[in-house]
Amino acid sequence: QVQLVESGGGLVQAGGSLRLSCAASVSIFSGNAMAWYRQAPGKQRELVAAITSGGDTNYVDSVKGRFTISRDNAKNTLYLQMNSLKPEDTAVYYCHARYLTNSRQWGRGTQVTVSS
């Protein structure tokens, strides 16, 4: 019944890198635009990066040039390569289909903590 499982988070020093993975169900992943979101305590959930079914990408300005979103359609898996991490990137990161967020449950997310 679990349809979204995020992994790859952890504690990293500023300037370091992490690669997040999201294993998604076929019903969520196939044919849909996918996205990574993040939420820090006391703040609203923020769209970080998105990728269409055809591979077009877009990013929030604060991560542009540092993060790369990609997808493996054969494995129903979404990735987020995060380089040059900053303390401001600290948050719980979630994946989801871009336009199914209100109709499907969110996963548990994966914690990313960036220390100075």
| pLDDT tens digits along 80-104 | 999 999 999 999 999 999 999 998 9
Contact 30, 42 (CB under 8 A): no
pLDDT for position 2:
86
**If you average pLDDT over residues 15-42, what whole number do you get?**
97
- Average pLDDT value for the chain: 97
- pLDDT above 70 covers a percentage of the chain that reads 100
- 4-7: strand order across its sheet: 4-7, 18-24, 77-82, 67-72
Torsion 32-37-82-3 (CA) sign: negative
pLDDT higher than 80, residue 53 = yes
Confidence of residue 55 (pLDDT cuts 50, 70, 90): very high
Contact 21, 78 (CB under 8 A): yes
CA–CA distance, 16 with 65 (Å, rounded to integer): 14
Q: What is the DSSP string of 71-107?
A: EETTTTEEEEEE-S--GGG-EEEEEEETT-TTTS---
**If you average pLDDT over residues 18-22, what whole number do you get?**
98
CA–CA distance, 114 with 27 (Å, rounded to integer): 33
